[in-house]
Amino acid sequence: MTADSAKDTTRGAAPHGGVGVQQERKHEGAAVKAALAANIGVAVAKLGAFLFTRSSSMLSESVHSIADCSNEIVLMAGDRVARRRRKNAQHPFGWYRVKYLASFVVATLLFFVGGFFSTSEALKKVGDVLENPAIRDANRGELVVALIVVVISACLEGYGLHQSIKESNERMRHTGMPHMGIYRFWRVTKSADLASVIMEDTLALIGLAFAFLGIGLAIATGDELYDALGGMCVGVVLIVGSLLLAYKAGSLLIGESVSALTQERIIKAVEGTEGVEDLINMQSVHMSEDNILLCLKVQTSKLDRDYDVDTVNKIERSVRESMPWYNWEIYVEPDIMRASQAGTPDEPVDLD
């Protein structure tokens, strides 16, 4: 027997009840919007600097920022589709995974293509500089302009990363997660938006560091080769970042289970429900960061239809009330515990 209660529309409530649903929704997506606003300005400045200086590092950074802008646009479009499209016969669990698909597209197409283009152009310039010593002398005045743009861009990208960290901290607080560093949060988060923007902002700062180093050395030595090498490093950073993001987004798209902490909360809620003798089996998957499909097999106190239906409803209510910041799609099947199943749900796998 299965039961599927009506959706709980409550979303974003804090475990301690101090922060309401509307407050979380107010800040939701702020990191993506802040990153888009910053990257538009940064892309224009870098492109202008490239056209003025013909710096290889500036070309790579321009491509990087254009890819970043495209990244945010794709993520926002994916979020819009996920929110607006309703369930239907072909998509009974909704369109939530569109956000994961958008993140995967960003990683495999925009970042990788941008990184490949930047690297190939930089390598071409390295070859030209080595073959023709006449063009090896750097124009220090023009490169100083490029260096100033790099510094300003780093400030804007730092602001974007600050917004990402701020939204990550809010997410941890609202869902009762223990506070953790940004790298560990990136590994365990189920939010495609935050994972993409955190990776993007981090790559941007690393790339700008290489660009600063390359342009700075070119100014100090008067050798254009360093600028070309700086541009090549920026392209390599983009390619490596695209592979890491593709791995993360691909894992989410395939379907990740809930974290070990959420597993423990589910087990506690189910086993604490009146009428439940044992939790036999539990399977879960994140449809999005806030939507979870949960399948349970439990042993009830009585093998009675009416009693089991009432117990199933209590289980669903207990799970929803224990973690109201998630939207749940719950299916429960009463069954009998077998010897081989004893103890299985009490040993959750650490997914972090």
CB of 276 closer than 8 Å to CB of 270: yes
Q: What is the pLDDT of residue 114?
A: 78
pLDDT per residue as tens digits for the range 139-172: 888 889 889 999 988 888 888 888 888 889 988 8
pLDDT per residue as tens digits for the range 34-71: 777 777 878 888 888 888 888 887 888 888 788 778 77
Q: What is the pLDDT of residue 12?
A: 34
Helices assigned H by DSSP within the chain: 21-27, 30-53, 56-84, 98-105, 112-131, 140-174, 182-188, 192-221, 224-254, 260-271, 305-322
Q: What is the pLDDT of residue 212?
A: 93
- Taking the domains of the chain in order of start, what are their residue ranges? 22-254, 260-334
Q: Do domains 22-254 and 260-334 have the same CATH topology?
A: no
Q: What is the pLDDT of residue 340?
A: 56
The answer to whether the pTM exceeds 0.85 is: no
CATH 1.20.1510 is the classification of domain 22-254: yes
Class of domain 260-334: alpha beta
Regions in the chain scoring below 50 on pLDDT: 1-27, 346-352
pLDDT per residue as tens digits for the range 163-180: 888 889 988 888 888 888
CB atoms within 10 A of CB 166: 14
| DSSP for 30-72, written as a single string | HHHHHHHHHHHHHHHHHHHHHHHH--HHHHHHHHHHHHHHHHH
